[in-house]
Every structure is written in structure tokens, then in C-alpha cells.
């Protein structure tokens, strides 16, 4: 049985916690407020961006899963969450958990700037131009240089229960795709994102870096058309390019070959199974 701290125990952290508890691990869920946590998770109230608030952290943690999310899309919020918060937690852990084994950092495929529709993997260049990718990379570096075995899990866009933005847009006939050549996007179902973290927390020594995406990068238009047919909604339309902007973000195919080679088995191998389950629920 391990003592596992989930720093930022929200939707993803909660789903992970449930699996870990079922397996007999002791799970501490850290967040700032009193919002519900899964039954069995031991609550830690602290603000990662305020060092003093981490004084009461439980001792002798074996594994940290850092899954805090910035409340807003600003450089300041990203820095506080992915840089300052990591640093504060590391400083506290150095005193309270000298035997820390693993520090798993939930990162994102936003660390990649490639936009040509080609494949990227864990060895591909990371030269983000946007602050989000830059701050995440800063966090990844801290984790690699800090206590325990550091691993950055680069997740693509998460979909799943309660994350119905695309479904709602398609249903309302408001879905838009990038005009022109195929514009590839990558996805991961929330339950697989939690499953991969479970695998990294409890399985063999994690790699420095792992991409967490399903097995089917797909042009966004294809997903929207597939959903529109199933929902009986109007077909999606191309977006009007806005002058002076770089167009819709992303356009890359992220490889999950390393993840598969580690023996991870997807619950939802592609977006088709994942969205079909959501539509049936
Ligand atoms: N959504 C996506 O498509 C996507 C893609 C790639 C990666 N990710 C990453 O996946 C991770 C988990 O996402 P999620 O969907 O589970 O987010 P979520 O449901 O918003 O959970 C995040 C948790 O972090 C806590 N938190 C935020 N700031 C904190 C702070 N300063 N101190 C302590 N706790 C803090 C929040 O609780 P309180 O507000 O109560 O503090 C919340 O419980 C995040 O790192 C996110 O960046 C998401």
C-alpha cells in the first residue's frame, strides 16, 4: 500500500483516487476548498501557490500526482499553478517526505508548437510560443530536477462525463471546423487519463515523459460530422478565418506508441468508443 498525494484533486484527480482506493492505497486529496472528494479520500486543504499553507501536509508520501488546473487562462494563473505551486510542494516534500518515490506531473500536449499535421512523440521538439505551453514546460523541468522520479504526462484535450462542450455545439448547429486541409486534433477520455495516471503511479518505473492521447488523432471536421449524424443535428460548417490571427490552434498527430509499449490498455481506444458511450449514457 502506498501513500499517494493528489495535488489538485478535482475531476481527473478524483477519478484516479477512486481507482487507487479500490486497490487499497491511502489517498490524500489536496485542494483549496471544501468541495466534495470521493469517499475514502483524506482531505488536505491548502493553496499550492501559498507556501505557508502547505505546512500541514501529510508526511511520508510515496507518490505525488500533480493535477491542479489554473482557474483562468492567463500567464499569471499558469505560472502560479504550474511553476510556483510545484516549487512550493517540492520544498515541503523535501522536509516531510524524504523517501518520495514518484512525482507525476499532469502536463499537456500544449508544449508542442507543431502545426503542420505531422506526427509528434515524446522526442519531438518542444518550442511553445504560447504562455500555456511555456509554463507547463517550466513545471516539467522542475519536476525532473526535483525530488522523486519525475514524470510529465502530456495529455491532449480531455472529454468525458460533464465535458459536453463539443456535443452541445454540434447539437445546436454551432460546431465549426478549420477550413482547408485536414486539421488534426487529439483527445483522451477522462477515464483513460485517470487510467494512465493509475498505471504510472502503481506500475513499473515511469518514463521522464509520456504522451497521453487515444489511438486516433482525427481531423476535427470528421468528429463533428460523426456526432452531427448521431445527434440528428445540422452538419458542422467551416469557421470564417479571422484576419490577423493564426487560425485554429493545434494541427498535429500525437503518438501514443510509448504508452502502448508500456502495456497500457485503453478503455476507450478512440474517440468513437468514447463519444458513443457518452451518447448512450
Ligand atoms: N481539460 C483538458 O482538456 C486538459 C488537457 C490537458 C491537461 N489538463 C490538465 O489536467 C489536470 C486536471 O484537470 P481537471 O479537469 O481534473 O481539473 P479540475 O477538475 O479543475 O481540478 C483541478 C483541481 O485543482 C485544484 N486547484 C487548483 N488550483 C489550486 C491551488 N492553487 N491549490 C490547491 N488546489 C488547486 C482545484 O480545487 P480548488 O479550486 O478547490 O482549489 C481542483 O480540485 C490539470 O492539470 C489540467 O491542466 C487538462
State how far the alpha carbon of 24 is from the alpha carbons of 28, 40, 166, 202, in Å: 13, 10, 36, 11
* Ligand 1 lined by 12 (C-beta under 6 Å): yes
**What percent of the chain lies above the pLDDT cut of 70?**
97
| Residue 230 pLDDT level (bands cut at 50, 70, 90) | very high
* Ligand 1 lined by 32 (C-beta under 6 Å): yes
- Give dist(CA 156, CA 168) in Å, integer: 20
Q: pLDDT, tens digit, for every residue of 88-135?
A: 999 999 999 999 999 999 999 999 999 999 999 999 999 999 999 999
* Ligand 1 lined by 54 (C-beta under 6 Å): no
Pocket test for ligand 1, best of 14, 31, 52, 108 (most atoms within 8 A of CB): 31
Enumerate domains of the chain plus CATH numbers.
Answer: 3-160+190-214 (3.40.50.720)
Whether the predicted pLDDT of 161 surpasses 60: yes
* Ligand 1 lined by 163 (C-beta under 6 Å): no
* Ligand 1 lined by 29 (C-beta under 6 Å): no
Strand 102-108 versus strand 63-66 pairing type: parallel
* Residues sharing a CB contact under 8 Å with residue 41, sequence separation 6 or more, in sequence order: 6, 9, 14, 17, 21, 27, 28, 29
Report the mean per-residue pLDDT for the chain: 95
Chain centroid to Cα 70, Å, comes to 12
* Ligand 1 lined by 14 (C-beta under 6 Å): no
pLDDT of residue 250: 82
Nearest CA owner, ligand 1 atom 37: 31
pLDDT of residue 242: 67
* Residues sharing a CB contact under 8 Å with residue 76, sequence separation 6 or more, in sequence order: none
Amino acid at each position: 500500500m502506498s501513500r499517494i498525494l493528489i495535488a489538485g484533486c478535482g475531476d481527473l484527480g478524483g477519478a484516479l483516487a477512486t481507482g487507487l482506493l479500490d486497490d487499497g492505497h491511502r489517498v490524500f486529496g489536496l485542494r483549496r476548498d471544501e468541495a466534495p472528494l470521493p469517499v475514502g479520500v483524506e482531505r488536505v486543504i491548502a493553496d499550492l501557490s501559498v507556501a505557508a499553507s502547505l505546512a500541514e501536509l501529510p508526511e511520508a508520501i510515496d507518490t505525488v500526482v500533480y493535477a491542479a488546473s489554473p482557474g483562468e487562462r492567463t500567464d499569471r494563473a499558469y505560472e502560479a499553478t504550474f511553476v510556483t505551486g510545484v516549487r512550493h510542494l517540492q520544498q515541503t516534500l523535501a522536509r516531510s517526505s524524504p523517501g518520495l518515490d514518484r512525482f507525476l506531473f499532469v502536463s499537456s500536449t500544449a508544449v508542442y508548437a507543431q502545426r503542420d499535421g505531422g506526427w509528434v512523440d515524446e522526442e519531438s521538439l518542444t518550442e511553445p510560443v504560447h504562455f500555456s505551453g511555456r509554463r507547463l514546460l517550466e513545471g516539467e523541468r522542475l519536476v525532473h530536477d526535483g525530488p522523486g522520479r519525475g514524470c510529465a504526462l502530456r495529455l491532449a484535450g480531455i472529454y468525458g462525463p460533464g465535458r459536453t462542450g463539443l456535443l452541445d455545439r454540434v447539437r445546436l448547429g454551432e460546431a465549426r471546423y478549420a477550413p482547408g486541409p485536414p486539421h488534426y486534433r487529439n483527445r483522451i477520455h477522462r477515464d483513460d487519463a485517470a487510467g494512465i495516471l493509475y498505471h504510472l503511479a502503481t506500475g513499473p518505473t515511469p518514463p521522464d515523459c509520456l504522451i497521453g492521447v487515444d489511438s486516433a488523432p482525427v481531423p476535427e471536421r470528421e468528429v463533428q460530422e460523426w456526432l452531427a449524424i448521431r445527434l440528428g443535428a445540422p452538419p458542422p460548417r467551416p469557421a470564417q478565418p479571422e484576419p490577423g490571427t493564426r487560425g485554429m490552434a493545434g494541427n498535429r498527430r500525437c503518438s501514443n506508441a510509448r504508452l502502448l509499449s508500456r502495456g497500457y490498455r485503453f478503455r476507450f481506444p478512440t474517440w468513437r468508443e468514447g463519444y458513443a458511450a457518452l451518447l448512450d449514457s
